[in-house]
Structure 1
Amino acid sequence: MLRETPTGAGAAITAFADALAARYSGLGGTVVLHPTPGGPHVVADFPGRGSGVGAAPVLLIGHSDTVWPVGTLAGDVPWTSDGIRITGPGAYDMKSGLVVMEEALELLRALGDAGAVDHVPVRIIVTADEEIGSPTSGALLLATADGCSAAIGFESPHPDGDLKVGRLGSTRLALAVSGVPAHAALDPEKGVSATEEIIDQLLRVRDIAARATIRAEEHPAAKVLYNLGSITAPGLANVVADDAVAVLGFRFSDPDIEGEVLDEIEALTPVRPRAQVAVTRLSYRPAWQPRAADQALAAVISGCD
């Protein structure tokens, strides 16, 4: 069955999670569903065999949500298969990875049943909100990884086949401004425009991002990416607006620059008297810089037949 599972589509992701849970149970796993309004996160544990019993588990990580809205299959991005290659919404990121995980579990069970291999326990987590920064699954991911010997993400590798052993930090911020409403013609001096205030605040943010980009250029491979995702400023032309919100997206490769930028933005103060500014982290994943252990694990995986 073809399933479309955009982030936040609770019913669609629940049906997909139920199908995964049934599959993992059939492969010998103990499955726990962690409900959220956007659909459940799936955690499954598979016991070790032989000499691997009692060892620390290896964690396999995936996600069920995609960026494609429901209806994409019937529109511009249909399901296709030529017997070798499959295409469709979410095939690359990341349902192909979920298929590889299932295939590995099938092979592991078959080899174990035949007495041909001992193996350590395997733990799987499939989250429902990765595409928006894991706001409800972040803590669960940390708890699930606790005590594991290694963690492997099953999103597809780079197009050239290279495995990822590092990742840009990703942070989504809400910049909210409160002003004071007033009639723009009768008593404008009584008002404080949230729309004007948020424009000035966004200019500050752009300056912070630009200065961080210059600092990053001084370090090899360092990177800062900034995107103004949306501005919501409801109001009328004859009324001084009293609220406005912008959603900001940042990506960093350097943890020090990341910390400096976020501290500076979260310390923003109003330009106008009586205006208020609040910055909220909607999601946060810190920069992951590769270590020797990451490189060693990637070498092991690359060398597997």
Structure 2
Amino acid sequence: MAEPAELLALARTFAAPVLERWEDLVTLETPSGDAGRAAVFAERLATGLAATADRIEQPPGPDGAHLVAYWNGRGTRDDTGDGTPEGHTLLVAHSDTVFPAGTVARRPFALAEDGDTVTGPGVFDMKGSLVAVELAMDLLCRTGTTPRRPVRLVVVTDEEIGSPDGSRLVARHAEGAHAVLGLEPPLPGGALKIGRRGVARVRLTVRGVSAHAGLDAALGVSAIDELVDQLAALRATAAALPDAALNVGTVSGGSRANVVADHAEAEIGLRYATHETERALLSALLEPSPVRARAALSATTLSHRPAWAMDPANPLAAELTALASALGLDLALGTSGGAGDTNHTGALGIPTVDGLGPAGAGAHSEDERASLSSLLERAALIAAYLDTH
């Protein structure tokens, strides 16, 4: 075992190679849905992780190859199922960003004059986190130790679009996990996340009956009118529920002003903080009753992340804050209004903490930035946890 202070001191000597690797990963752009770029990035990431990992897989996905890396625990083999202590530690991350290809040419990776602030598309959300994990595992190797438990790192390629395929991979590797460390960016000020609102995207489709809007309007059934009434009812439902939010993101339908619309649809975003609100919202949306007798409704779930309610007694959070204190770092805790892949593990009751990426701000924006010193500290914290727990 290595002393936490030793790990932090060692991490701080790696500022130069960390910046080089960070720039390397940011320059390899990975917009969601670009399978070719995702595959190139997965290969580059695998090359770096291979220096310490015992095994690396690249499971295929519709939006590009995901990545799973394995490290054996002390005296154990993660693939035998008979290791001691029981359970593995799961690290959850993603490689995709919200920025289109070509953004880095306009806004390249850069280190500010303060010597600490790094800017560029994806530096904060979340390529800095991937660099931190590489460094954490390298720190353990350089101090002559290995993780106490087997470790798995899952990096999905579709988190920014709701992990329609990646959530399957996270759920698979969550089975049997002792704890889950989410590598998403932290809350403002570097606070860790011990709860997240859930989120879902649902497409509501209405089929009506077309007719001449002037001559035979009574023979038609307006799909648009039906959709408007359905959305109004859904808004009322959301307004009556605690911690609920509903956003109608897109609406389309109809063909001409003189034709009663026979089709219409809307894509609706839902957010909720509790399982009870989640059930009520989804029930109202996925089991709709038509207002008009001849209207037909259907709802399709496009993505879904369950609510992860905050548990003040989260044992993993207590362990991480104690380790941070041993490193001389203050580590606050909070909940997030956004959702991520750790919603699934937290909702399952697996001890989960998210936000272990480096501190920064401006995710998904032109002003995205992250802290080099924080990345080095996070790497030391992750290494210390894996070493001792």
Q: Same fold (TM over 0.5)?
A: yes
Change (3 A) 1:199 1:272: same
Counterpart contact for 1:10–1:37, Cα < 8 Å: yes
Q: Counterpart in 1 of 2:376? A: none
Give how far 1:298 is off.
3.7
1:207 aligns with 2:227: no
Residue of structure 2 equivalent to 1:219: none
Question: Higher relative contact order by CA 8 Å / sep ≥ 6: 1 or 2?
Answer: 2
CA distance in structure 2 between the partners assigned to 1:21 and 1:52 by the alignment = 20
User: In the alignment, does 2:189 pair up with 1:160?
Assistant: yes
Select which of 260, 285, 301 maps to 1:240: 260
CA deviation vs aligned residue, 1:13-67 (integer Å, no higher than 9, x gap): 1211121222222323311212122112211111123489823221111011111
- Alpha-carbon deviations, 1:172-223, whole Å to 9, x = none? 11111111223334433332221121111111111111111xxx2xxxxxx2
* 5+ residue gaps, structure 1: 217-222
Contact 1:50–1:118 (CA under 8 A) maintained in structure 2? no
Task: Count the aligned residue pairs.
Answer: 292
The amino acid of 2:33's aligned partner reads G
Match status 1:295 vs 2:314: no
CA distance in 2, matches of 1:134, 1:246: 21
> Which whole-Å CA distance do the structure 2 matches of 1:117 and 1:268 have between them?
54
- Counterpart residue identity of residue 202, structure 1: L
Query: CA separation in 2, counterparts of 1:118 and 1:152?
Result: 14
Match of 1:271? 291
Q: Which residue of 2 aligns with 1:220?
A: none
Give the direction of change, closer, same or farther, for the CA distance of 1:230–1:118 in structure 2 (3 Å limit).
Answer: closer
Aligned to 1:126: 155
1:295 alignment partner AA? A
2:374 maps to what in 1? none
Pick which of 83-92 and 166-175 moved more.
83-92
User: Aligned-pair RMSD on alpha carbons?
Assistant: 2.1
1:252 to 272, 279, 282: 272
Which of 72, 81, 90 is equivalent to 1:47?
72
Give me the whole-angstrom Cα distance separating, in 2, the residues matched to 1:26 and 1:270: 59
- In 2, the alpha carbon distance for the partners of 1:170 and 1:208 equals 16
1:52/1:118 contact within 8 Å kept: no
Task: Quote the residue 1:94 is aligned against.
Answer: 126
Matched, 1:174 2:203: yes
Asked whether the equivalents of residues 125 and 185 of structure 2 are also in contact (C-alpha less than 8 Å), the reply is yes
Partner residue, 2:363: none
Q: Secondary structure at the match of 1:124?
A: strand
**Structure 1 contact 51–118 (Cα < 8 Å) conserved:** no
Matches within 5 A, 1:69-148: 69-75=100-106, 77-82=107-112, 83-112=115-144, 116=145, 119-148=148-177
| 2:212 equivalent in structure 1 | 183
CA displacement at 1:127 relative to structure 2: 0.8
CA distance, structure 1, for counterparts of residue 303 and residue 146 of structure 2: 41
- The amino acid across from 2:104 in the alignment is L
**Gap change, CA 1:229 and 1:118, over 3 Å in 2:** closer
TM-score (norm 1): 0.88
Cα displacement (A) at 1:118: 5.8
Identity of aligned residues (%): 41
TM-score where L is the length of structure 2: 0.70
Q: Is the 8 A contact 1:165 1:294 kept in 2?
A: no
CA–CA distance in structure 1, aligned partners of residues 29 and 76 of structure 2: 41
| 1:294 shift after superposition | 4.1
Q: Measured at CA, do residues 236 and 298 of structure 1 come closer, stay the same or move farther in structure 2, by a change above 3 Å?
A: farther
Code of the residue aligned with 2:246 in structure 1: it is Y
Paired residue for 1:231, among 240, 251, 254?
251
State the SS of the aligned residue for 2:133.
helix
Q: Distance in 2 between matches of 1:148 and 1:140?
A: 13
Segments of 5+ residues of structure 2 without an aligned counterpart are 1-23, 328-389
